[in-house]
Amino acid sequence: MQARGPYTIRGYYQPENARSFTLDGFFRTGDLVRRRPAGNIVIVGRNKDVINRAGEKVSAEEVERQLRTHPAVQDAAVTGVADTVLGERTYAFVILNEAAVRPSAMKEFPGGRGLAAYKIPDRLISMPQLPRTPMGKVDKKALRAQIATSER
C-alpha cells in the first residue's frame, strides 16, 4: 500500500531508506490490503512478512492470527524457510498453554476455520518462548537461523 497526505512523513534521515518513497512523494507502507465491495480498505498483512510457497502468497500474520484463536495457543509466529522444491515452506512456532495438544491437531485447526490448504503450516514447532528483538517484537530471523541449524 502507498499513502500520502499532510500527516505522512516526507522521508527518513538515512538515505538508504529512500526506496520507502515513490518519486511523487507516496510512502510505501509495506502493508498488504484488500478492498471490500463497499470500497473500504482492510489491512490483511505485511508485504515483508509474506511467504512465497510454490508461487502462492501466504501472509504470516494471517496464519498467526488463526493459530492464536486456538484455546491452547498462548502465542504464535509464522515464517518462511527456504526450500529447494517449494521456494519456501511455512513453519509455525507456537507457545502452548497445554502440553497435551497433538501437533497434528494444531495443523488441522486453521483449515477447520476456513484457512486455505496451501496456507496451513508445513511444520509446527512447540517452544517454551519465542525469541524477541530488543524492541520486543518476535525475532523471526532468529527462528529461521534456529531451523537452518537444526536441519543440517
Q: Which of helix, strand or coil describes residue 47?
A: helix
What residues does CATH 3.30.300.30 cover in the chain?
A: 49-150
- Is the model's pLDDT at 54 over the cut of 70? yes
Residue pLDDT, tens place only, 3-31: 888 888 777 766 666 777 888 888 887 77
- Report the CATH superfamily, name and number, of domain 49-150: ANL, C-terminal domain (3.30.300.30)
Q: Which residues contact 86 (CB under 8 A, 6 or more apart)?
A: 53, 54
C-alpha cell belonging to residue 78: 509464522
Distance between CA atoms of 33 and 121, rounded to whole angstroms? 22
- Give the global pTM: 0.69
pLDDT digits (tens, 9 = 90+) for 102-116: 766 777 787 778 888
